[in-house]
Structure 1
């Protein structure tokens, strides 16, 4: 598994529904990208100029909401992950 560095967070992205409530199948182009997921791994923290590290506000296992167009998409073994900076995490669910 990928180990994030510095202030990066690895999130397993939730899968979005492929059908509407009425049962209509949505094509890939009509499906929206999920902005929710579970924190799988975190880096060691951001290094400040004085050499101290800023502790993370999120921890492994937290369910989070993240910015829509942030991070780098990674797909491994059919699962979707997102590698993003902690500042792109908007909140803990």
Structure 2
């Protein structure tokens, strides 16, 4: 039995693997990186939430210790920052 041109299936498999492996690996590592991104975002959100909650608890336990904060953070002794976005103007309450 003689083999003709194009009858070698092992070389076709190697070529298909060579063409498809980079795409598959990029998709696999992309899924892993998106998972890591979501995990880091959730960890940062939870850390910020916990820090603010802890700060509020400390302030409510002894408000005289922090005289700059009267009735919450809106009455802080520093001026509120200003920003300009084109024709729009905004003022942030801290």
Please say whether Structure 1 and Structure 2 have the same fold, judged by a TM-score greater than 0.5.
no
Q: TM-score range by the shorter chain?
A: under 0.3
Higher strand share: 1
Q: Which has the larger radius of gyration?
A: 2
Higher helix share: 2
Q: TM-score, normalised by structure 1?
A: 0.18
Question: Which has the higher relative contact order, 1 or 2, with Cα contacts under 8 A spaced 6 or more apart?
Answer: 1
Q: TM-score, normalised by structure 2?
A: 0.18
